[in-house]
Amino acid sequence: MEQYKEEFISFMLDCGVLRFGDFVTKSGRKTPFFVNTGFYRTGAQLRRLGAYYARAISEHFGTDFDILFGPAYKGIPLCVAASMELNRLTGADVGYCANRKEVKDHGDKGILLGSPLRDGDRIVIIEDVTTAGTSIAETVPILKSQADVRVQGLVVSVDRCERGKGTKSALQEISETYGMKTCAIVTMREVIDYLSAHPYQGRMVIDGPLKERIEDYYRQYGVNGEA
């Protein structure tokens, strides 16, 4: 596994974003792990997060696109930070854009903020974590209603590696439904493998019993029931 992914796993633990215990996802699944990106709360944390996103974007998409789009609300700081760090990493100056929850009818009018969308723009969507793809189903129509754009892909921080609405992973379903490439900074399987073999701050975060609970979860919700 690439070094930046290992660093990102430790970074999530440092920030309290990645947690293990007993949680319930929005979809109602009882899960032994949870990723809460709301715990990125400082400028330094956001800068580092943007750098990890920029690394993944550069690796999977290069810089051959025009707009980095962040769905409201969590996607707004993500697209700003990642576009800045992508410029620092590669020199590319891509636009950033996000949507408002409500249409603004004065001043800078409309549903969008940031770079305006134009016909032919190539867009990469940036999100925190995608479990069922609900936000993408809401985002794509917004983009298409503003201009004749091409949505090239989606990048998330963590791929939970579990089924979406059918038998395939949520990211696989999104890729096939919308004809776009999907990727993550790190997958949950990479997280589990790394933390099962490497200590964090002198202790094993994932011990034998916790790993068995995680494997049970994936037998129930993983793609093809695989642990």
What are the structural domains, with CATH classification, of the chain? Answer: 3-225 (3.40.50.2020)
Burial class (CB in 10 A: 0-12, 13-18, 19+), 218: buried
pLDDT for 210 equals: 97
pLDDT for 105 equals: 60
HSE (side-chain half, CA atoms, 13 Å) at 138 = 14
For 2-11, give one letter per residue: b (16+ CB within 10 A) or e: eebbeebbbb
SS3 97: strand
User: Helices (DSSP H) in the chain: which residue ranges?
Assistant: 3-15, 43-61, 75-90, 134-146, 170-178, 188-197, 208-221
- What would the pLDDT profile of 54-96 be if each residue is shown by its tens digit? 999 999 999 999 999 999 999 999 999 999 999 999 999 999 9
203: left (phi over 0), alpha (psi -120 to 50) or beta: beta
pLDDT for 227 equals: 46
pLDDT for 122 equals: 98
Cut 0.85: pTM above it? yes
Residues annotated catalytic, as ranges? 104, 106
pLDDT for 157 equals: 97
CA 44 from chain center: how many Å?
Answer: 19
Q: To the nearest whole percent, how much of the chain has pLDDT over 90?
A: 81
Task: Using 50 as the pLDDT threshold, list the residues of the chain that sit under it.
Answer: 107, 225-227
pLDDT for 51 equals: 98
C-alpha to C-alpha distance for 37 and 214, rounded to whole angstroms = 20
| Token pair recorded at residue 52 | 């990890």
- Asked whether 140 and 91 are in contact (CB, 8 A), the reply is no
**DSSP run (H or E) holding 96:** strand 95-104
What φ, ψ does residue 49 adopt, rounded to 5°? -60, -45
